Amino acid sequence: MMILLLLGGVCSVVFKKLKMPAIIGYLVTGIILANYWSGESPETLDIVDFLSTLGLVLMMFCIGMELNLKKIRKSGSFAIMVMMIQVPLMLFGGYLFGMILGLTSLQSIIFGAIISGSSTAVVTTVLAEQDRLTRAEVDTIVLITVIEDVAQVIILSAVSPMLVGDSMSFESIVWMMLTIIVFMVASM
């Protein structure tokens, strides 16, 4: 844990000095530790798994704290419109690029789904550090990335049965989308 924190701190400071977002330092730390750390043991892997899950939960909580119902009502329709244009275009572009690379149709669809959205955590962190946009612009961008995340979950959930050889049924997709909508409305 000490090595992880020390290396993360050093890398984030180095990248901050290079006038780059500190989050790049954290990504570099993860790459270094994943490839060059030989301290793997079952206990260590359990601790790292627990900490990564905890970090993900806390990160999603912080992103959720950025969203406000009044802001969603104000710029939600614009964010949905952006997502409805951007996600299908990126999905189609990723599909075409995947086919050019020689991927199968399913792999190309998944590739398109992966590149169809931005990382909400990265965007939020970089925008907070740079302080170049107004608060309203930051809120709109965060809302767009959150809606992209929801769209990616829907797309990847819809194609995941195909990964194990099952067919994609229309009823299961509709049921999944209704469940997500009901959950989001109930949460709000």
The per-residue pLDDT for range 31-68, each reduced to its tens digit, is 887 777 666 667 777 777 787 778 777 777 777 776 77
Q: What is the pLDDT of residue 39?
A: 61
Tens of pLDDT, residues 73-130:
777 778 788 888 888 888 899 899 999 999 988 888 888 888 877 666 677 777 767 7
Mean pLDDT, residues 121-149: 75
DSSP labels for 55-112? HHHHHHHHHHHH--HHHHHHHHHHHHHHHHHHHHHHHHHHHHHHHHTT--HHHHHHHH
Q: What is the pLDDT of residue 101?
A: 92
- Sorting pLDDT into bands at 50, 70 and 90, what band is 167? low
Q: What is the pLDDT of residue 96?
A: 94
Q: What is the pLDDT of residue 168?
A: 65
How many Å apart are CA 167 and CA 152, to the nearest integer?
19
Give the count of beta carbons closer than 10 Å to the beta carbon of residue 88.
13
How many Å apart are CA 178 and CA 134, to the nearest integer?
35
pLDDT over threshold 70, residue 152: yes
